[in-house]
Amino acid sequence: MRTRPTLGWRPTGVVAPTATSMAEVADIVAAGRVLVLSGAGISTESGIPDYRGETGTLRRHTPMTYDEFVGAPDGRRRYWARSHLGWRTISAAQPNAGHRAVAVLAARGYLTGVITQNVDGLHQAAGTADVVDLHGRLDRVICLSCKETSSRVELDDRLRAANPGFDPATTRINPDGDVDLPEATVRGFQVVDCAGCGGVLKPDVVFFGENVPPPRVRRCAELVDAAEAVLVLGSSLAVMSGLRFVRRAATDGKPVLIVNRGETRGDPYARLRVDLPLGAALTELVRLVA
């Protein structure tokens, strides 16, 4: 069963107490056993935009939905043409100060794990080992027929061979790894099928309207239950796939701390929200708990 895509949310007016200092966050992190839940806001300083921030792409861009992708060849052609170009930016992105700070906190034993809603792999690139990719990874591809997974690099080579000279000018990258392209440009793009069985290839990510695999959800719930606190980094928590873990922690009486630019859907469950840029805030957090 698939869920209806949640592209936006209406603020309730119930906001968490706000701060412009990481001092209280540092006190809780210093005690250890903290679970990090990160969102697109932690990757904006690496050149990957978010969906719902001040310059979020939902103001101009509707992400691909699962039904649109599987429902018609035209939807898949549109996705792969735009994603083929956007992949160059995603694959070249480097971890920023926020990702590196999380890796330091994990290495020093303050964290029990990291759940990320991002699909860019930048936490792992920064050196964090224990990461659950809640919404999957853009650097993997899965066949919807035989379920075999393969490398996005391999697919990129095949798409380049099938579309020689396909290099239209682009100006904007979206968080889901695609770019804006006119329909006339998309129309001539050639999609490739699974090299093993000829089935439909899909990025190994959870599209809007698609459910997170149940085993992954259970693993995240176990991490919440094992933690003493949850630290949300750069997420508006607009989609239930991440919000449910914040609700679970709050129901169990565990402190939820949020570092995000602006109000979030999780504010009613949070002890505190710090409104600071993630790179500077997390660098300061590392210094405070050292």
Q: How many Cβ atoms sit within 10 Å of the Cβ of residue 9?
A: 16
Report whether pLDDT(171) > 80.
no
Check pLDDT > 70 for residue 251.
yes
Of 205, 236, 255, which residue sits at a domain end?
205
As given in the structure block, the two tokens for residue 216 are 């992954």
pLDDT category at 4 given cuts 50, 70, 90 is: very low
91 annotated ligand binder:
no
Q: Is the pLDDT of residue 81 over 80?
A: yes
Domain range for 222 is 15-48+94-135+211-290
99 is a catalytic site residue:
no
Distance CA 8, CA 73 (A): 27
More confident position, 63 or 280: 280
| Section 261-288 average pLDDT | 96
Average pLDDT over residues 31-46: 97
My answer on whether 156 and 233 are in the same domain is: no
Angle at 70 between CA 122 and CA 67, to 5 degrees: 85
Q: What does the angle CA 258 – CA 6 – CA 246 come to, to the nearest 5 degrees?
A: 30
- The answer to the question of whether 258 is labelled as a binding residue is no
Q: Which of 84, 99, 123, 135 is catalytic?
A: 135
Place of tokens 């508006």: 236
Last residue of a domain, one of 158, 177, 205: 205
- The whole-number average pLDDT for the span 86-112 is 96
Residue 237 pLDDT more than 90?
A: yes
pLDDT class of 182 with cuts at 50, 70, 90 = confident
Across the range 246-259, mean pLDDT stands at: 98
- Cα distances (angstroms) measured from residue 128 to each of 36, 68, 112, 220: 11, 34, 11, 16
What is the reported pLDDT for 128? 98
CATH number at residue 282: 3.40.50.1220
Residue 137's SS3 state is: strand
Q: In whole numbers, what is the pLDDT of the chain averaged over residues? A: 91
Task: With a cut of 60, say whether residue 3 has pLDDT above it.
Answer: no
Residues above pLDDT 70, as percent of the chain: 91
- pLDDT band at 228; cut points 50, 70, 90: very high
Instruction: Give the confidence band of 60 by pLDDT, cuts at 50, 70, 90.
Output: very low
CA angle 256, 262, 263 (to 5 degrees): 55
What percent of the chain stands above pLDDT 90? 80
Task: Please report the pLDDT score of residue 131 as a whole number.
Answer: 98
- Residue 158 phi, psi (nearest 5): -70, -40
> Annotated binding residue at 55?
yes
237 with 271, same domain? yes
187 in a structural domain: yes
Rounded Cα gap, residues 217 and 19, in angstroms: 31
**112 domain-assigned:** yes
